[in-house]
Amino acid sequence: MHSTPFSPTEARSARARMGLSPTQVAHFMATCGAPVHPQLVLAWEQGSEIPTDRQLFALADVLWCEATTLMGIEPRTLAEHRLARRLTVERLAYRIGMDPTEYREAEAAQHWHGDAWQTRALVEALGLSLRKLIGIMGRVDELTEHLRSAVAGRWKAYVDPVAEIVVVDATSVGDALRTMHGEFSRFSERYMGHLVARNDDARLKEIAAERAAYLRRLVDHFWELIGEEGEASPFPLGGR
């Protein structure tokens, strides 16, 4: 069940900066379309109650601060990024063409299963990148394993699985995997060349260290090759 993140301390501080009483806050919230009792404002500041999403947005407007200030955290989850953009579930679901119930389930499970258009609409609405979305959804480890298998084996077999995770077209993913496979293969070629030539162990260890460093940067390098497609919504959202 989603619960709106809220910092009583930040709420008290924001109200103090504005010089408003709980009664005044409640009055101004009513003008914002979110009427509440002054005692509820105090309950929020005491930590005994938590505002709803709509109440959080209205309170941020009244106190002239960002929603993230009142949340007291840097957004980490899909729900928190939505709140930071002051979007209700219903409004965001409408913008990305998804049933609100389905979207709410995705937030609760922290598992995104929208199609390519919905995914691109989501990252644009939340001000994210495809790469950031994958991190939020906890799929970085899965992507890493696919990339490691691709560079060490038959890279073509991993084009579709990787494209499904990153929501980038298969051609771009294939180009990146082919490049990475070639780069990784050269480590083996150099290693074997020095081994056959009976070069000293220091050189072999140096190549092995370079190989290990390459593997550690595998995901970063993949996104470097993908380029702008991974940093923002890859194409305009004018149609489906």
Tokens describing residue 198 = 């009976």
List Cα–Cα distances, 3 to 78, 111, 216, in angstroms.
Answer: 12, 17, 36
User: CB-hemisphere CA count at 13 Å for 135?
Assistant: 13
Domain assignment of residue 236, yes or no: no
Q: Are residues 151 and 226 in the same domain?
A: yes
Q: Are residues 124 and 168 in the same domain?
A: no
Per-residue pLDDT of the chain (240 residues; tens, 9 = 90+): 457 899 999 999 999 999 999 999 999 999 999 999 999 999 999 999 999 999 999 999 999 999 999 999 999 999 999 999 999 999 999 999 999 999 999 999 888 888 889 998 999 999 999 999 999 998 999 999 999 999 999 999 999 999 999 988 899 999 999 999 999 988 776 666 555 455 566 666 777 788 888 899 999 999 999 986 666 443 333 333
Q: Are residues 146 and 207 in the same domain?
A: yes
Domain assignment of residue 3, yes or no: no
Give the residue ranges of DSSP H helices in the chain.
8-18, 22-31, 38-46, 53-62, 67-71, 78-84, 89-96, 100-109, 116-126, 130-136, 140-152, 159-166, 170-196, 201-216, 218-226, 228-231
Q: Are residues 157 and 88 in the same domain?
A: no
Any idea how long the chain is? Answer: 240
Domain assignment of residue 25, yes or no: yes
Domain assignment of residue 216, yes or no: yes
**What is the reported pLDDT for 125?**
95
Q: Are residues 155 and 181 in the same domain?
A: yes
pTM over 0.75: yes
Domain assignment of residue 2, yes or no: no
Domain assignment of residue 239, yes or no: no
User: Under a CB-based contact definition with an 8 Å cutoff, are residues 165 and 116 in contact?
Assistant: no
Domain containing 103 equals 78-128
Q: Are residues 120 and 193 in the same domain?
A: no
117: CATH? 1.10.260
Domain assignment of residue 226, yes or no: yes
Q: Are residues 85 and 164 in the same domain?
A: no
How many domains is the chain partitioned into structurally? 3
17: CATH? 1.10.260.40
Residue closest to 158 by CA, chosen among 171, 177, 131, 175: 177
Last residue of a domain, one of 29, 45, 71: 71
Tokens describing residue 75 = 């957004």
Domain assignment of residue 55, yes or no: yes
**What is the reported pLDDT for 158?**
97
